[in-house]
Structure 1
Amino acid sequence: MARSAATVEEPVRQRLLAEATRLFAERGFESTSVQEIVAAAGVTKGAMYHYFGSKDDLLHEIYGRVLRMQMERLTRFADAEGPIAERLHAAATDVVVTTVENLDDSKIFFRSMHQLSPETYKNVRAERRRYHERFRDLVIEGQRAGVFRDDIPAEMVVDFFFGSVHHLGTWYHPDGPLSGPEVGRHFADLLLSSLVPAGRPAP
């Protein structure tokens, strides 16, 4: 049975992303040329431009595929049944685990995002903003239910938490003493402990 065109072409797209990720990590985004990417992937420039309009688009997609996956998972946690504290804890653990599992992609992006075109940079910020707002909504839900303290703006809670998550690339190593799930649980425990209302024992 003949494979569909999409099935045949998809490995080309994946090779381009894999080689771009490797080269950006080794040489930096600015120092890597389109020609080097297509040569490493074993394709033509025409094949690359079939999938990606520019080197910016490659960098955007390296991070975008991680962010889309995290957004899908966050939505499942947010929409699930169960106490809000459990859902927020699960969501917080998961974002750390998925960041650690895709640490190279995240490190490359955050190191190079300032070199994106203004329009692409604006789009990326909007995508990240939607993710952070979905996470923030969980905090607000808990605050309105009286489960979380409400004297700290939910926006600040999210900024503080994700500041720590985005810092993972500077210190986490897979061969270190803690696994990704262990770090995720610690981060989530710290987040939930910080949200306990005054006078109430920590969970």
Structure 2
Amino acid sequence: MTPKRNAQRAPDAAITTDREAQRPPVEAIRAAAFAQFAERGYPVVTVRDIMKACGLTQGALYNHFRSKDELLHDIIASTQGELERLCQQAVAGAGDDPAAQLAAFVRVYVARHCRLRVEALVANREIGWLSGERVADIRRSRRAIRDILVGILSRGTERAAFEPPRIDGRSDLKAIAMALLDQCTHVSMWYGPGGMLSEEQMAKLYADMALRAVGARTK
């Protein structure tokens, strides 16, 4: 069954201009697709809308993508893959301390969701329009990111660096990881530049909250 939803208007969605045409065609198409899908929702946007927004002919899309569905998969998969890479890199560079790893993971995750709000909105809202075959690799990447976080929580708990909440005498680290990811992901729904906190300050705030949530022991 085709999923049905009311499309939400993107927060501060970028409006594409003729400047998009100055990019390499495939990058111009991707940028226009992100903006159009975020602003109006995947079901409403046509290939003609996307190509008009980036100043290219409709035939140019088919030089790079066979369909609108393939284009949606491409832009979600690309931003998801980059997020996974950044999370892996941040944790690898944080040393052996689980608290430092958790802080680094959350900072990079939140900073990206603050900076690329339109991309995050499309990736999280429009994924439901993809077929099962196309969505499989995206879900694999999301599980990989979750598992990175579960690994950090597990190491921190085993070393008594964390004291996460317990229910009936035990901690469900996967549930805690999902709760932290949900919190960090949804910053993209409301954060905007020009507020009291910069992207970097917001990322640090979320990292501090995550450490408190898992009962990180202060040194």
Q: Indicate the residue corresponding to 1:157 in structure 2.
A: 176
Q: Indicate the residue corresponding to 1:3 in structure 2.
A: none
Task: Give the CA deviation at 1:96.
Answer: 0.2
Q: Indicate the residue corresponding to 1:60 in structure 2.
A: 73
State the TM-score, normalizing by the size of structure 2: 0.77
Task: Give the CA deviation at 1:175.
Answer: 2.1
Secondary structure (helix, strand or coil) at the match of 1:51 reads coil
Task: Provide, for residues 26-74 of structure 1, a one-character-per-residue CA deviation record: whole Å limited to 9, x for no partner.
Answer: 3221111112222333434443233223222322333333222222222
Superposition pairs of residues 1-203 of structure 1, within 5 angstroms: 11-80=24-93, 81-149=95-163, 151-196=170-215, 202=218
CA 134–112 in structure 1, closer or farther in 2 if over 3 Å, else same = same
CA 188–20 in structure 1, closer or farther in 2 if over 3 Å, else same = same
Structure ranking higher in helix proportion = 1
1: CA distance between counterparts of 2:47 and 2:206?
Answer: 39
State the TM-score, normalizing by the size of structure 1: 0.83
Task: Give the CA deviation at 1:178.
Answer: 1.6
Task: Give the CA deviation at 1:115.
Answer: 1.8
Q: Which residue identity is paired with 1:124?
A: I
Q: Which residue identity is paired with 1:61?
A: D
Task: Give the CA deviation at 1:152.
Answer: 1.9
2: CA distance between counterparts of 1:139 and 1:53?
Answer: 42
Q: Which residue identity is paired with 2:153?
A: V
Secondary structure (helix, strand or coil) at the match of 2:191 reads coil
Task: Give the CA deviation at 1:188.
Answer: 1.0
Gaps of 5+ in 2: 1-22, 165-169
Deviates more, 1:13-22 or 1:47-56: 47-56
Task: Provide, for residues 93-146 of structure 1, a one-character-per-residue CA deviation record: whole Å limited to 9, x for no partner.
Answer: 110001111111111232222222232233322221112112221111212222
2: CA distance between counterparts of 1:159 and 1:26?
Answer: 27
Task: Give the CA deviation at 1:202.
Answer: 4.1
Moved over 3 A (4+): 42-47
Task: Give the CA deviation at 1:157.
Answer: 1.6
Gaps of 5+ in 1: 1-9
2: CA distance between counterparts of 1:88 and 1:158?
Answer: 11
Q: Which residue identity is paired with 2:147?
A: E
2: CA distance between counterparts of 1:104 and 1:135?
Answer: 24
